[in-house]
A and B are shown apart, each in its own frame.
Chain A
């Protein structure tokens, strides 16, 4: 059973994307913890660790991703966690590469098919042998 957490950090309240993904992953047979909007990186990281999730999805549409994602990655590392992260939202191409260099496994923009997200997550865990 794959356990996923979907979270929205920062101040943007546009949660349709996060909800669509949470619902799609549920229909893809995963257990999805949705933590709601306006979360601090600290809240997200502690919840992901306590919930012992296999993967963490972060949705950002505010443009603050280059501040928030590194913060989340650093906090996870500080707490000795290696939970993989994927990101969804409005992310410019040049930032996509930067985020991937930092360790984000995938970035999904507008127009991504939900089936693609489900398949990629499942494939990730097949290869990771979990």
Chain B
């Protein structure tokens, strides 16, 4: 699809145009940036859903979609790429397939393509594409993460950390990293008898800190507790829109977006240089010179 056709299509709300634009985001992010530059964007509420593999991220997104029929929502579902073959098995969609034909929702699977931290190298471009399409909300499902995969905090307006009762003791919750980036906690798999126990430990851990963080309990595959979470998400978006948090998060996102784009330029430059010709400072100078030429 040609660029002008994509721009027109996005403005007219055509799904195929968005599908093509998202492919450009993945395959040629700088081209995507130049296309996206021509759009005025109304900020969507960007919500990151993160947590360990199998905790219920895809199922929670499906439950959120079940309860949000009147909203326009874009879903970015990320699964890992193989470091050996580059291939990927993208299976998040399975839990959301009942919404494949819903007009208001657009679900797109991304492979992590070498990015660390649980996201895709094109995450900023993908978010901007969904915003240009006029989504009310963008749900980002990270790769199933460990304790230090916190990149989502640089992208999302709201980070939801999902936990379930099989994830270890209280000390695990006191550790730095993932547990620190939560704006909202969700204890999923509420039907597990140990969930109450986890909930009280989690609340005790939160009380040790300075930030008051809301906690919700869900059983996503039965849609239980999801209405309360949706209300919580809407309330948070209202609050952060007014108290300056949203503005600050957007600034951070903008900053990181530019940084990721500059890094890409550096990678491209370094791929073309014969590295054996330079010593450390010589190469550094050469890269910076080339970078200045490109801008």
Contact = CB atoms under 8 A, between A and B. Distances in A.
Interface of A: 1, 22-23, 25-36, 39-40, 42-44, 46-47, 49-52, 79-81
Nearest to A22: B89
A45 to B, nearest CB: 9
Contact of B87 (A28, A40, A46, A51): A28
Interface residues of B, number: 29
B20 A27 contact: no
A42 B101 contact: yes
Given A33-B93, A47-B93, 4 more contacts: A29-B85, A50-B15, A50-B100, A50-B106
Contact of A32 (B18, B88, B94, B108): B88
A5 B2 CA distance: 24
A26 B100 contact: no
Contacts of A47: 93, 97, 100, 107
Contacts of B90: 31-34
B101 A29 contact: no
A82 B98 CA distance: 24
Contacts of A1: 26-27, 86
14 contacts: A27-B87, A29-B82, A29-B86, A31-B109, A32-B89, A33-B109, A34-B91, A40-B101, A46-B101, A50-B15, A50-B19, A50-B100, A50-B107, A52-B20
B261 interface: no
